[in-house]
Structures are given as structure tokens and as C-alpha cells.
Amino acid sequence: MAVKIGFLSVAHMHAHGYAAGLRRLPGVEVRGVWDDEAERARSFAASFGIEAFESPEALAEECDGLIVTSENLRHVEMVEHAARAGKPVLCEKPLVASETDADRLLRLLRESGIPLMTAFPCRYASAFGALKRRYQDGGLGKALAVCATNHGTCPFGWFVDVSKSGGGAMIDHVVHVADLLWVLLGEEPASVFAQTGHRMYGQPWEDTAMLTLGYPSGLFATIDSSWSRPDTFKTWGDVTMTIVCEKGVLEIDMFAQEIGHYRKGATTYGVAFYGSDMDAGLVEDFVRVVRGEIPPPVSAEDGLRAAKVALAGYRSVAEGRPVAP
């Protein structure tokens, strides 16, 4: 019997990648979608040949698991629909965009007991897997410093409406790298110092952000989390890490497995990526969670831990000093 997965809001563009990954899995059916913006639901449904439901309750009743890809500040609201139906849920990052929502989500999960998996597809990049194995085999000694980036092209739309997103580039991009650092190092930062700017687009929301994380072990890491790529950039952005260890240096460019692609149009140069399909790996594990085969491999705690770093960044900017996450 097929596992039926539904989408609660498809505001985030990652919904398309997740749906495509699900459709390639045997024994899995993308059952349908609900979105409070009916046209958004209809468009997504038409793209994948699925049903657009009239209510979240109707969708949940027909599904074994649900994927939340709503605007950031509506994540908890969407998870509540899944909780009322008692269905496992995969929630887009950042898991929360405010400390109030973090408390609300924890209470909801305790009361409902549903499994929640955080959508961190970068964990499923083959390049990151190789980096993790190489570092954790111990041959290069302990990490002393990390320089990481998660640049991107500004997505505009609701992403720059702080009432829906909770912030700009910092809330959008810090969480991916913060999670990778946790997986790699196994320790949380003790301090966060952040600076932001808005000179790319000159709007109130930050389009550039630089964070410095200090760790109890003495290691420090920097994260450049910016929407600093122009519309004509060859890809949406990048995820890179340079890890300075006691006996050597490790480097990763997560999207370097590419072939240059020239074409006519506004963006004349792009890339054809041939690396691992991170979205596919993510949703395959979520289906295993829905089937009860494994607990969420990227837990709610993981999502909250990464969000806490980004939220500390905003407090640091407001106070003009390093703060504890």
C-alpha cells in the first residue's frame, strides 16, 4: 500500500524539489496540497498532477505524512494541523523564526507526540558526507577554525516581508551552515557576534550578514550568510566550508559538481549539476519516518538548535555585542 504524502502550503520553492523527489520513490504517492492561497495550490497541483484540497483537515485525513513548506512565521501553525491529525511532519527550515515560536513548537510536540523532521537537505550532499568522514577519522586532528559561506540570490516575494519571513538573509541562510557545523563538530557555540547590512538592495531587511561563532573548545567559525549573488549569477548561490585543523585543511564546495551551460536569454551562463540529489535523500528518509522504520534523522531539536544561532545573530546586531545563543 502506497505511503501518501501531502503538502501544507507550498510558499517555499523547496516544495517543488521535495515533490519531485517523492515521485521517484517506489511505493510513495504525492496525495495532494492545501494552501491558503488557492491559486498557489492550484498551480502546484497542476505541475504534479495531484489534487488541491479545500482545507488542511481534508488533506491530512487523506495522508500518512505531511510536508510543511509555508512562510517561515507560519511553520508552527502548519505543524499544528499535522499534530491535530496525528501525522508525522517534515518542516522546512528555519524551523522557527522567533523565540516565542520555539517555545510554542516544543509545547506542541510534547503534547501531540508526533515525529517532526527538519528539512536540512545539505546534510544529504555527498560532498558533505565525504568531508564529515575525513574530519571525523581524526587524521587531521581537531578543528581550530572554520570559514563558511551560504551566499544566494535574493528570492524576494514573502522572503523580504519580515512579517512572514521573520528576517532577511540571516534567518534564511545561517541555519543550513549552523546545522552542518553541529553535525561536524558536535558542540554548540557559546557566543554569537553578528553584523548585517542592506546595501545590495537598500531596503530595511538585511541582504548581507556575517556571523562569528565562538565555541567552548576555543574553535571559532565565521558564516557569510548573504543574498549577494546577482540575478544573472550562474546558480542560486553556494555552500562552502574551509576547516583549518591541527594537521591540515579541509575544503568543501557543495555544488562544485557541475558542467557549464551556455544559453540564450537574460542569464546566458548557468550550470548543469550532476552531484547528489539532496532533496531526494531528505524525502526518502522522511518516508522511512512515516513508515515507522526510523526516528527523524534530523530532529526538531536539530532545527531549533540551528534557528537559535540565527536568532542570537539578530540579538547581537540589536545590542552591538556578542551574545549567548
Domain boundary among 81, 114, 147: 114
Domain boundary among 63, 87, 114: 114
Find the CATH number of the domain harbouring 98.
Answer: 3.40.50.720
Query: Rounded to 5 degrees, what angle do the CA atoms 84, 102, 93 make?
Result: 85
Same domain, 170 and 242: yes
In-domain check, residue 260: yes
Q: Measuring CA to CA, which residue among 227, 225, 210, 146 is closest to residue 182?
A: 146
Same domain, 150 and 107: no
Same domain, 226 and 84: no
Same domain, 100 and 144: no
Tell me which residue range forms the domain holding 224.
123-278+308-319
Domain boundary among 91, 114, 137: 114
Residues in the chain: 325
Same domain, 145 and 101: no
Same domain, 150 and 224: yes
Same domain, 48 and 70: yes
Same domain, 129 and 101: no
Same domain, 106 and 203: no
In-domain check, residue 295: no
> How far is residue 187's CA from residue 152's CA, in Å, rounded to a whole number?
27
Same domain, 109 and 11: yes
pTM of the model: 0.95
Q: What's the structural domain count of the chain? A: 2
Same domain, 209 and 242: yes
> How far is residue 144's CA from residue 241's CA, in Å, rounded to a whole number?
13
Task: Provide the residue-wise pLDDT of the chain in tens; the chain has 325 residues.
Answer: 899 999 999 999 999 999 999 999 999 999 999 999 999 999 999 999 999 999 999 999 999 999 999 999 999 999 999 999 999 999 999 999 999 999 999 999 999 999 999 999 999 999 999 999 999 999 999 999 999 999 999 999 999 999 999 999 999 999 999 999 999 999 999 999 999 999 999 999 999 999 999 999 999 999 999 998 888 787 777 899 999 999 999 999 998 887 887 777 766 777 777 677 899 999 999 999 999 999 999 999 999 999 999 999 999 999 999 999 9
Same domain, 29 and 148: no
* Coil, strand or helix at 15: helix
